[in-house]
Structure 1
C-alpha cells in the first residue's frame, strides 16, 4: 500500500458501527489519453555559419532579423593574404607541370632514372592538392546563405578578427516549417509513435489551435534531464510566429490501451504517479485499500494502469475515513 496512507485514514467514531459511503463503478475501456507537456517553438532548420579560415572581417551585409536569399553574401574576410597564397599555389602548379613534362621527355630517352620521374610526379600532385586547398579556403572565407530564410543571430562586426570555425551567424530556413521540442518521461515515451497527432496552443494566439505531428523520437535519454526528446513538426503557417514562443502541447497517442477510469474523488493520497484508493465489495460491504498506478488525470477522472484488478467499485464519498476491512453501508 502507498506509503503514508495511515496519515490520511481516520478511525471511525466508537459510537458509529458502520460508515455510510458512496461508491462509483470502475470503467474499463480504451481511450486516447493525451500527454500534456510544453516546449518552445523553433524553425525546422536552424544552421550556424562560420568562416573556414581565421582573418579580419571586412564586410557584414546583414543584421539580426533580416530576410536572406539562397546564395546571398552575408559576410567576408580580408582576402589579400588568401589571394597571395592562391597566386603562389598556382605558380607552383605551373612550375611542377613544366618540370614533369620535361622529365617525362628525358625519361623516354633513358637520360634519367624512373625514381626521378616519380619524384617529379609527386611534386606535381602535391602542388595540385595545395592549390585545391587554397581555393577551398578562399571560397569559404566568404559566407553565403545556404538557403532562403532569416538571420536569427549575428556575432561579428567589421574590423573584428575572428577564428576559424567560430559561429558568426545563426540562420533559419522559413520554407521548411516549424518544430516544437518537448521532453517526455520514460513512462510517456513508450506511448508515443511517429506520426501521432499533437495539438498546440500558445499565448500570442490563445483562441487558436495548431495541429502538428510527431516527427522524431529520441533513442536515448538526455544525460542532463533524464527525459527523451520528442520533435513535433508543424507545416508552414501564415501566422506571425517567432522562434522561442512557449507552446502548450497535447500529444494524442495513436495506441489506445485499455485503462481503468475512476472519479478523482476516490483518490485518498498520492505520491508521484502512485495513489491510494479504497475498493468497495458490495457483497460483503467491506472496503480494502489499493495502491494504483495513475497514468493521467482526464477531466474529472483518473486513468489507472494497474492496481484495480478484480475491483468493480471504488469509494468516493467518505473515502478519507476508510481503512482495510472496514464494514460500510451504501447511501440510498
Structure 2
C-alpha cells in the first residue's frame, strides 16, 4: 500500500491518498465455539451379573489395560467348568464309539453324532470362556472417566452403560457453527486459530466438515482438532474463540473504514478518488465513485474488484474538505453566471 500526502496552504487541513491494489478477498470467520471430546466410549458388560468391583470414579484417569470394573463371576465360572466337563465327556464318548465301531458293535452314524457333540460342546465352552473374560471392563486406551452410571452391588444388564470414557490423546476439539455460504470456504486440515484459556492462542486443524446442516438452526457444525492440548489442563465444555481465515476466488479493494464517504440509495459505497495523472496539490483532480460493498467491518471496507484491476488512489483522510471546497466553488460559479 502506497501513502501519498498532499496539502493545500490555503486549506485548513491536509488530505491523504492511499494507492489500493485489488487482492484476493480474505474472509475471516470469527465464532464462539465450545470445547469437547471428539469421541467418547460407553462401556457395558456383555452378560448380566452383580457389580462386585469398581476401581474408578468420574474424573479419574486410567491407563490402557487397567481393570476398571468387574462382576461377581461365580455363575460364569460355574458355567465354564460345567461346559468343560461336558467337553471331556463328549471326547470320551467319541473314543468309546470308535472302539465299538471297530468291533462292529456301533455305526458310522453314531460316531459322526459323537464327533458333532464334541464340536458343539467345545463351542459352548469357548462362549463360556469369552463371557467370563467380559465380566471385566478393561480400559482400551489411556483416558479419563467422564461419567459413572452404576454403583457397587447393582445388577448389570448388557444394555446398561456402566462407564463413559474419553481418550486424552488427539481427542480434544472445538465445535463451531458456520453458515451455508461459509461452509464452502473451509477445507479439511485447514489451519485455524483458537483462543483457549489458559493456553492463549493455539493452532488447530479442521477435522470434520458435515454435509448436512442442523434441521433447526440450518447451520453446519465444524470440528477443529487441537492435537497438542492436554485435556486435563482445560475445562471441557468451556467457550473458545475460533478464527478461520479463508481465501475466496474473487478480488476486492480493502480500504480503511475512514475512506467511506457515505452509502447511496442502492447500498453502494461512495469513495473519493484522485486522478493519478493530475495530482495538483492546490487543486487536486478528484471525483466520487460508487462501489459494490462485499464486506464491512470495524476497521475496513471491502469493495468489489476483479483480478487485474488497476490500483485506486483513494482519499482516506481529508475527503470531507475536498468535497466541501468543490461544492463552494460550484455555488460561486453559478452565482457569478446569474449576475452576468
Do these two structures clear the TM 0.5 threshold for a shared fold by scoring above it?
A: yes
User: How far 1:126 moved relative to its partner?
Assistant: 2.0
SS at match of 2:159: coil
Distance 1:132 1:221, change over 3 A: farther
Tell me the secondary structure at the aligned position of residue 267 of structure 2. strand
Q: Who is 2:131 aligned against?
A: 137
2:208 alignment partner, one of 208, 212, 216: 216
In structure 2, the residue matched to 1:64 is: 58
Contact preservation (8 Å) 2:263, 2:270: no
Deviations 1:128-164 (A, max 9, x none): 2222222222211211221222222111111122221
1:209 to partner: Cα distance = 0.7
Q: Determine which of 216, 236, 245 is the counterpart of 1:252.
A: 245
1:276 corresponds to which of 267, 270, 275:
267
1:175 alignment partner, SS class? coil
Give the equivalent residue in structure 1 for 2:90.
Answer: 96
Across the aligned residues of Structure 1 and Structure 2, the Cα RMSD in angstroms comes to: 4.0
Counterparts of 1:14-29 in structure 2 under 5 Å?
Answer: 28-29=22-23
Give the whole-Å Cα distance in 2 for the aligned partners of 1:211 and 1:267. Answer: 39
**Residue aligning to 2:143:** 149
Given that 1:27 and 1:262 are in contact with CA atoms closer than 8 Å, whether structure 2 keeps it comes out as: no
The answer as to whether partners of 1:149 and 1:173 remain within 8 angstroms in 2 is yes
Match of 2:331 in 1: none
> Structure 1: 5+ residue runs without aligned partners?
1-23, 270-274, 317-328
8 Å Cα contact 2:33-2:175 kept in structure 1: yes
1:166 aligned to 2:166? no
Aligned residue pairs total 287
Distance 1:93 1:228 in 2: 58
1:197 deviates by: 1.0
Distance of aligned partners of 1:93 and 1:183 in 2 relative to their CA distance in 1, 3 Å threshold: farther
- Partner of residue 282, structure 2: none
Q: TM-score, normalised by structure 1?
A: 0.70
Q: Partner of 2:26 in structure 1?
A: 32
Q: Is the 8 A contact 2:50 2:156 kept in 1?
A: yes
Q: How does 1:39-50 map to 2 (within 5 A)?
A: 39-50=33-44
Distance 1:86 1:258, change over 3 A: same
- 8 A Cα contact 2:70 2:136, kept in partner: yes
Return the structure number with greater helix share. Answer: 2
Gaps of 5+ in 2: 1-17, 274-286, 317-321, 326-340
Pick the structure with greater CA Rg: 2
The 1:216–1:107 alpha-carbon spacing in structure 2 relative to 1, beyond 3 Å, is farther
Q: 1:301 to 1:102 in 2, by over 3 A?
A: farther
Return the TM-score normalized by structure 2.
0.68
Q: 2:120 is matched with which residue?
A: 126
Cα displacement (A) at 1:56: 1.4
Report the secondary structure of 1:158's partner residue. Answer: coil
Structure number with greater CO (CA < 8 Å, separation at least 6) is: 1
Shift of 1:33: 1.9
**Matched-pair contact (CA < 8 Å) for 2:205–2:224:** yes
Please say if 1:82 is aligned against 2:76: yes
Query: Structure 1 residue 266: deviation in Å?
Result: 7.5
